[in-house]
Amino acid sequence: MKKILLFLFSLLIGIGLFVWIIKTVGWQEIKRAFLVFTGWQGLVILGLTLLIALIGNWKWKEILKGEDVQISFRSLFSPYLAGFTVMYLAPILVWGGEFFRGYVLKEKNKIPWSKGMASIIIDRILEWTANLVVIFFGILFFLLKIGSPPKKLAAIFGGILFLLTVLIFFFYFKIFKRESLAKAVGRIFNHRLDSQPLEIEKEIFNFFKPKEKAMWKSFELSFLKAGIMLLRTWVLIIFLGKEISVLPALSVLGFSYLTAMIPIPAAIGSHEAVQAFAFNSLGLGVSVGTAFAMLIRGAELIIALAGVIILFRLGIILLKNTLFKKITNFTKNNAI
């Protein structure tokens, strides 16, 4: 019953995301996005966007390898892309994409839940770490160039950045001291933990060791992914007819990361507003900032649409597996 409910959840998410895309974005916008990416410049941006996803999947593979889990790059890419789609188009479903990835690993690839979820948590922590570095240096350059931003904008993004920084540093402090976060949370809420959270935490502890090669390689891939995103930012601004150096492009990317932390599907509206402010402050023009945000969304939307298809496909596969097991068990139990 649980597996059927999870299948229905993934199917409904897929249908809901598809309907939401059509109603909110519209067929014309989707068509326009595909038309933009038929020219060579659009194909370059789309290719870099796909490369970003491939590097993210490579990083996840290396994290699992560090947990002594051997799985092919190809097998991981479907749940990775489906998870990205849920996170990108339905960020209000907190950790929905991550849980879906863990469930697929368990049911389709027979990877223990503790190892699968630990790998996903590690992946997110490494991602946030690299993003924080980009945000810090990007915003630092921005402030040195233009001075203080508007108070409301500073309060919103400053609060998000401060909270995330505190959480990341607190996490690393606890991890390297080998102090259980799961037990601390359990004591706060006066809740007795079962074995699974502790098993997941144990896997995370084992991964974050200074002598662990997989940890350092995963860090390198996190920053490589951020580097490709910086390259995409720089190239797209040049394609839009503006000359720009690496540091202003880093500021633009930093603002993109900050916007992604606001739980708005596909960052619609928020990304345009923030980049309009950033581009205008950097002397690149409000219209260029708006176009930049829309083109980035177009590329990521195409990748997300592929993820919607994968959500349907994975859901059907999981349902078939569940029904096959139930039929097999029924046959065995009723055999004469």
Q: Which residue has the higher pLDDT, 206 or 13?
A: 206
Lowest mean pLDDT among 98-107, 221-230, 327-336: 327-336
Report pLDDT digits (tens) over 147-191: 766 676 667 667 777 887 888 888 888 887 787 776 666 565 555
Report pLDDT digits (tens) over 267-324: 666 777 788 888 888 888 888 887 888 888 888 888 888 888 887 777 666 555 555 4
Q: Which residue has the higher pLDDT, 331 or 89?
A: 89
Q: Which residue has the higher pLDDT, 333 or 108?
A: 108
Question: Given a cut of 70, is residue 248 above it in pLDDT?
Answer: yes
How far is the C-alpha of 184 from the C-alpha of 188, rounded, in Å?
6
Which pTM was predicted? 0.80
Question: According to the model, what pLDDT value does residue 266 have?
Answer: 61
Average pLDDT score over the chain: 78
Task: Return the ∠ at Cα 253 (arms to 252 and 254), rounded to 5°.
Answer: 90
Is residue 168 a contact partner of residue 122, using CB atoms and an 8 Å limit? no
Is residue 275 a contact partner of residue 292, using CB atoms and an 8 Å limit? yes
Is residue 302 a contact partner of residue 1, using CB atoms and an 8 Å limit? no
Is residue 317 a contact partner of residue 2, using CB atoms and an 8 Å limit? no
Q: Does residue 192 sit in helix, strand or coil?
A: coil
Is residue 236 a contact partner of residue 296, using CB atoms and an 8 Å limit? yes
